[in-house]
């Protein structure tokens, strides 16, 4: 694996919109890239500023553990705090 990365602040709006739309179609799958939102209102303050890699990690671990991120629940909060280092 390389250290290559894309600075999302350096691409034009249309490209970012297209990337977000593509990633939205990947929510709930192992293809999720960490750009689109996969969580409900309850978690937005914790996850919207999380790094893409932390979003991916939370999503993928949640997928494996069958955790719901739309409806507030303790399992989701525990995983979010663990990955974001808030425990």
* Residue range 65-81, pLDDT digits in tens: 999 999 999 999 999 99
Among residues of the chain, what percentage have pLDDT more than 90?
85
* Residue range(s) defining the domain that contains residue 62: 13-83
Tell me, yes or no, whether 47 lies in a domain: yes
State how many domains the chain has. 1
- Specify if 57 maps to a domain: yes
pTM value? Answer: 0.89
Indicate if the pLDDT at residue 87 is higher than 70. no
Residue 4 lies in a domain: no
**27 — phi, psi (to 5°)?**
-60, 130
Dihedral angle, C-alpha 33, 49, 59, 36, nearest 10 °: -40
Domain annotation covers residue 3: no
For CA atoms 27, 2, 85, 8, give the dihedral sign: negative
Tokens 């719901």 belong to 68
Domain annotation covers residue 79: yes
CA distance 10 to 35: 15
């Amino acid at each position: 694996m390389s250290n290559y990365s894309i600075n999302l602040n350096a691409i034009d709006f249309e490209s970012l919109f297209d990337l977000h739309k593509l990633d939205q179609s990947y929510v709930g799958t192992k293809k999720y890239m960490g750009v689109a939102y996969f969580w409900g209102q309850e978690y937005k303050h914790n996850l919207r500023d999380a790094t893409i890699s932390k979003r991916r990690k939370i999503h993928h671990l949640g997928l494996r553990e069958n955790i719901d991120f739309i409806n507030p629940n303790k399992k989701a909060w525990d995983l979010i705090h663990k990955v974001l280092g808030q425990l």
